[in-house]
Structure 1
């Protein structure tokens, strides 16, 4: 029996960089819509023709709810530019381009990745990160968008500068912009900190968290197995009257054609309640 009567009101967005990977990227929009998704998110839409992405969104009645600004050279291991010395101009250009793309695609949120750091440079990198985010938040405010920062676990992304929820909220307090929010990925949060219910109750009220993401722990599969009991999490989100999107950023356990759709039993069960 559902532990809360309103969990069906939660809004889930398909992450098209992680789901439906048996299909070409531009064909994933239709697949997501066919499975009942109304929202989608992705990593790097700038890698595809903007007009094509916009057409797929419109044709399938989908809202693009989140994407990442260009993170530097991903293939060579870069994971964001915001904290990197000597890359300030490139970072600002990436933000300008991402905000322009967000306007074209009617997307309200852009995730800005921090970048990798080392213990020797961390203090300087953190100061640079804060300064760059303060500038970027001003640009987002001017065009009516929100920038997101996401704590990422050190196991999946060693060296990533931002790892913990409290550090992200410290940044928000220091910068003081309503256009800078936290992207709270419960997979990363569980690995780094746990105590998810308390974290949700602490951070969700007040609008400082702008987006949630989910996946099972530890395998990053569908949110229907593993150490984090998502039925409880969804009931808690409903009790907290979470109105935002919940991004499905997970790796379907069933590979190959139809694997993503086959793994959506958890969502169908939730929607049926």
Structure 2
């Protein structure tokens, strides 16, 4: 009986301590759960806000496109009316006056549409999130490194300021190339990013070793066996790399007068290059320096 009493005196404090420990752990888990739930709710709200913003911007873009098409049609009509007024004026001055009145009405309608487009653009710019620039590439590299991609950056030539739209195009191309390198190469892939500045242009290149890294992840020696065959070499030489991301990078490059290429080196990885011969003064239409004195 004494032994049972002694055992009870020992077990009661132990059980009390265990109960306290479990209670503390339950409180910590409950707090963590609430924090995670709050984060999920915040992420859901941000996602909904972004979806609404995208939908709103898409609606505005459709309106702008429609007004743009209508304005082009009216410009075409205005040119035809002007030519008709010129020909009529040689024979009947009154017909030329009537033509001028009609052209004035068409021009006023065009001006009203252009003002509507300008208002929509200003509203869209006010609602848009801040766009990244080339200075944001450091944050992009850090983000990719944190995700498992080893980024090596090399730059040559003298950098200069670019138009915001051009900087955004270069940044998006770089972002897509690095994302693909991490997606297909996996954790541990190395991506070498090169910026080569010329007098008027910029060359951007991204080379990764995704194939070699994938072989190493499978336990193979990347220096002796990367797991590719002669067929892989033939595909590298004959097949063009395609995909939504590739096409988007190509379109961004060509928009600023550049040439885009994407290739793969069997047993090594992928290479992406965007060469902009006249990016310094390119505005998406031409690469002519329109600044005074020919300098920025």
TM bin (shorter chain): under 0.3
Structure with the bigger RCO (C-alpha within 8 Å, sep 6+) is: 1
Higher helix share: 2
Normalised TM-score (structure 2): 0.22
Q: Which has the larger radius of gyration?
A: 2
Normalised TM-score (structure 1): 0.23
